[in-house]
Amino acid sequence: MGDFDVFFDQVFPRAVRVARRMIGDPVESEDLAAEALARAYARWPAVRRHAAPEGWVLRTTINLAIDTLRKGKRNPEVAAIDGSEDIVALRVTLAAALGALSRRQREIVTMRYLADMSESDVAAALAITPGSVKTHLSRALARLRGVLGPQSGEVADGFAI
């Protein structure tokens, strides 16, 4: 599986960055990225043929990070080592707001803004049309603004939403 080794080396750093933007903990971010890539390896024949294999891994990483935040599996103090409790509060607020979205909307928002994927890359990763991505994104952002209320600007500054 030499092609997987090359794929791993290309995708792992980006998957770690995406997880870190979501949960803050560098060690746990590496664990989540490694888990996503382990799942890709287990399904490599299918993932390799996927329209967007990197998008598949990033979506899996995002879902694992959301599950981690939702289940409270992480220690918030770890993310606050740099002395910024505000960052922890923003991450918790973002996780709660993302939880108010449908699964598809959550995937699209996180892939588009936290993974910094283009709309066409998100569409390929999710096997939907770019128009569907735009529609889901518009509805999701409106819902996030409604859920976050006056904090939406603060969260937007912290997480590019």
- Return the sign of the alpha-carbon dihedral for residues 68, 70, 72, 75: positive
Torsional class of 68: left (φ above 0), alpha (ψ -120 to 50), beta (otherwise): alpha
Q: Apex CA 54: angle with CA 50 and CA 57, to 5°? A: 95
* pLDDT value for 86: 61
* pLDDT value for 147: 77
Burial class (CB within 10 angstroms; exposed 0-12, middle 13-18, buried 19+) of 74: middle
* pLDDT value for 47: 93
Average pLDDT per consecutive 10 residues, the chain (161 residues; last block may be shorter): 88 93 88 96 93 91 85 51 56 76 89 88 91 94 80 48 40
* pLDDT value for 83: 46
Q: Give the CATH number, domain containing residue 57.
A: 1.20.140
Torsional class of 83: left (φ above 0), alpha (ψ -120 to 50), beta (otherwise): left
Q: What whole-number distance in Å separates Cα of residue 121 and Cα of residue 104? A: 15
Could you tell me the pTM of the whole model?
0.69
| Count: domains in the chain | 1
For 132, phi then psi, to 5°, come to: -65, -40
The parent domain of residue 97 ranges over 2-159
Count CB-CB contacts under 10 A for residue 15.
28
* pLDDT value for 160: 41
- In the block, tokens 């103090």 appear at 77
* pLDDT value for 38: 96
